[in-house]
Structure 1
Amino acid sequence: MPDVQALVNDFVNKLRKRKIEGSQATAKHTAEFLRSVISQQRIPYTNQAGALIDAVKAVGEQLIAANPVELAVGNIVRRVLHIIREEDLSLTTAAIGDLNISVGSDDDEDDRDDHPVLSAAAVAAAARSTLRPPSLHTLLEDVPNASAAPLSSSGGDSEGKSKSADRSSRIRKLKHDVIESVNDLIQDIDTCHEQIAEQAVEHIHQNEVILTLGRSRTVMEFLCAAKEKKRSFKVFVAEGAPRYQGHVLAKELVARGLQTTVITDSAVFAMISRVNMVIVGAHAVMANGGLIAPVGLNMVALAAQRHAVPFVVVAGSHKLCPLYPHNPEVLLNELKSPSDLLDFGEFSDCMDFGSGSGKPLLHIVNPTFDYVPPKLVSLFITDTGGHNPSYMYRLIADYYSADDLVLQQKSTANSKSLSGLV
């Protein structure tokens, strides 16, 4: 079998050299890579879920460090960790249920009265208590002690063989269920554009004017889906300098039959009074409902707020980041090459060679992203529906585990976890 560490190094190099760019492409490749890591991981008889979690964390820390700006990498790593915890919880719940069924069948009527079979709610509570740290809620739960129930003894050798077979079966079942859930996650990433576009007819109405900035495939599919539903509307596209991705989006929209007008970024405030809605994409959605988006969108959001125009963000659930903008591991921005703004020949003319220092008199700053605070966002449209910025915490609770929000950097733990890979 291939060396997993070599595969990790190869994938890290691709992220570091920006051979994989874009939130969707990065999320999909990360999920596929973690699926292969899980399939090749050796799981011990005890603490099977812990072994998988350690392996995924060890690999995930390297992937996140390779390209910290691509927050989708960390999102997928945490989603996979949450999947492992949920599948292990499901198997533990089923095992406890089977244990109590066997206890109830072996005991007589008197013993059943003394040791009643646990209900489904009690079984689920017992499983949660074994996997999660104690809290006030779990302390108040009335969970009967399953270990107090008498177990029938029918031969030590046969019982030991049965337990060994059950453990082996559970290991295979855990890996199989985790891989199946990761496959579902990859499928959701692939189809997020279609699921978001299905909601377009509910938000775009007849004869409206829509404003967007730059180029986003999610926005394009959203607008084109409304066009296919016989909605007639106009689109203003701000060009998105200095990379001018708005020009590309405008050509794509015209090819699909939409009435499109290209405007400069500086004309957004002048044109916003004619607009009914602003629809934009995002690079990442933070836990507080804030937005990391292409540069220039904060200006558009401020103009929309000034004229009371709804500011709508379309983004797949893989872009939802459980971190806050003030977290130290979050890099809100990166600087692109100055050549987007000024050719190298023109830039070299601004160098101070006379003094002998060679230091430039002209500095060019070319940031990639803007941060849009949640108070400027009207609505998020994801593949699970429309949500207010204040609802982001609920989605985070569904997609991520609190134990995985901050991935600790431990080189020794990484080496131990990677040693179990084959």
Structure 2
Amino acid sequence: MDLIRTEGQRMTAAQPSETTVGNMVRRVLKIIREEYGRLHGRSEESDQQESLHKLLTSGGLSEDFSTHYPHLRANVIEAINELLIEIEGTTDNIAMQALEHIHSNEVIMTIGYSRTVEAFLKEAARKRKFQVIVAECAPFCQGHEMAVRLSKENIETTVMSDAAIFAVMSRVNKVIIGTKTILANGALIAVSGTHTLALAAKHHSTPLIVCAPMFKLSPQFPNEEDSFHKFVSPQEVLPFTEGEILAKINVHCPVFDYVPPELITLFISNIGGNAPSYIYRLMSELYHPDDYEL
């Protein structure tokens, strides 16, 4: 356990903004605990029926892993292989739910490029006719790639600048976005411009749906969000050829936005749809409280 936790710390320290790495380490630690407990004779049924009080108080209890079990290694490897199969099918599982949320003649808005959202919209387009408006997500303009991919599937697609989000929102039926990370309080760390989109959707009472697999669910809270801040070269915003202006100003180019949970209507994951308020329960099912901090 200590070896895996140490390796997890080393990998997450290399790129703190990539929370998925730490999440997978936590999933593996949870698998080891479950398999050890099963061999140790602990009832799986009693684990599933944990009360809220037990979930809140279980953190910090020391567990004894000193007993050697010859089948533990094989069981853990088998469980990890099952996890890999689950991860490979996450996008398909999310896309299969598309027809429950997208109806004919609706106007859908999204921002930037998300592989999960792309699969979600393409699956819906097989049986439904609808229009998609894509905010370009400047300065990286990944929305252009999204629009090209959707238009190849004969989905009516329009690209617009981020500045026009609020003006267009009044005629949008649903906002469907992807995300980089889901935090423990149900908030998002998503591409820059997503907060603007979410605020506009809230103002017009437009449902905001987030398509994200469960491995993006992180036990970190927004008060630790310094690790999520990522700034890149502002070359796309203000080229270095504008040397005279650059000498007089400071330009910041953030990659991610923080989106609070009250702006989100629904999370669609590979295990179904859930409200932001239910995230705490999903967290307890995915990770052990002792592993929240690697």
Q: TM-score, normalised by structure 1?
A: 0.64
Pairing 1:223-372 to 2, within 5 Å after superposition? 223-228=121-126, 230-327=127-224, 331-346=227-242, 348-350=243-245, 360-372=247-259
1:336 is paired with a residue whose SS is coil
Deviation at residue 396 of structure 1 after TM alignment:
0.4
Contact residue 209 and residue 264 of structure 2 kept, 8 A:
yes
Deviation at residue 124 of structure 1 after TM alignment:
5.8
Pairing 1:96-111 to 2, within 5 Å after superposition? none
Q: CA RMSD in A?
A: 2.2
Contact residue 232 and residue 255 of structure 2 kept, 8 A:
yes
Asked if residue 179 in structure 1 is aligned to residue 77 in structure 2, the reply is yes
The separation in 2 between residues aligned to 1:341 and 1:184, in whole angstroms, is: 44
AA at the equivalent of 1:242 = P
Aligned residue among 48, 51, 60 for 2:8: 60
Report Cα offsets for 1:249-303 as digits up to 9, x if no partner: 0000000110001111001100000000000000000010001100001011110
Deviation at residue 350 of structure 1 after TM alignment:
3.1
The separation in 1 between residues aligned to 2:119 and 2:199, in whole angstroms, is: 25
Aligned residue among 273, 283, 290 for 1:396: 283
1:156 aligns with none
Asked if residue 85 in structure 1 is aligned to residue 22 in structure 2, the reply is no
Mind listing any 5+ residue stretches in structure 1 that lack a counterpart? 1-52, 95-119, 137-166, 352-359, 408-422
The separation in 2 between residues aligned to 1:350 and 1:303, in whole angstroms, is: 32
Aligned residue among 93, 103, 109 for 1:195: 93
AA at the equivalent of 1:206 = S
2:61 aligns with none
2:107 aligns with 209
Q: Max radius of gyration: which structure? A: 1
Report Cα offsets for 1:105-137 as digits up to 9, x if no partner: xxxxxxxxxxxxxxx69x968xx9xxx99x69x
2:104 is paired with a residue whose SS is coil
Contact residue 268 and residue 274 of structure 2 kept, 8 A:
yes
The separation in 2 between residues aligned to 1:318 and 1:345, in whole angstroms, is: 42
1:381 is paired with a residue whose SS is strand
1:344 is paired with a residue whose SS is coil
Contact residue 290 and residue 373 of structure 1 kept, 8 A:
yes
The separation in 2 between residues aligned to 1:199 and 1:225, in whole angstroms, is: 9
Mind listing any 5+ residue stretches in structure 2 that lack a counterpart? 59-66
Percentage identity across paired residues of the two chains: 44
Give the total of aligned pairs. Answer: 281
The separation in 2 between residues aligned to 1:361 and 1:203, in whole angstroms, is: 49
Structure 1 segments (4+ residues) deviating >6 Å: none
Contact residue 108 and residue 176 of structure 2 kept, 8 A:
yes
The separation in 2 between residues aligned to 1:325 and 1:306, in whole angstroms, is: 23
Deviation at residue 316 of structure 1 after TM alignment:
0.4
The separation in 2 between residues aligned to 1:271 and 1:260, in whole angstroms, is: 14
The separation in 2 between residues aligned to 1:252 and 1:80, in whole angstroms, is: 35
Contact residue 202 and residue 263 of structure 2 kept, 8 A:
yes
1:279 is paired with a residue whose SS is strand
AA at the equivalent of 1:249 = M
The separation in 2 between residues aligned to 1:75 and 1:331, in whole angstroms, is: 15
AA at the equivalent of 1:341 = V
Deviation at residue 332 of structure 1 after TM alignment:
2.3
The separation in 2 between residues aligned to 1:124 and 1:208, in whole angstroms, is: 46
1:349 is paired with a residue whose SS is helix
AA at the equivalent of 2:244 = D
1:73 aligns with 21
Asked if residue 380 in structure 1 is aligned to residue 275 in structure 2, the reply is no
The separation in 2 between residues aligned to 1:194 and 1:91, in whole angstroms, is: 33
AA at the equivalent of 2:229 = N
Contact residue 93 and residue 124 of structure 1 kept, 8 A:
no
Deviation at residue 181 of structure 1 after TM alignment:
1.3
The separation in 1 between residues aligned to 2:255 and 2:130, in whole angstroms, is: 30
* Structure richer in strand, relative to its length: 2
The separation in 1 between residues aligned to 2:163 and 2:224, in whole angstroms, is: 32
Contact residue 16 and residue 228 of structure 2 kept, 8 A:
no
The separation in 2 between residues aligned to 1:324 and 1:383, in whole angstroms, is: 22
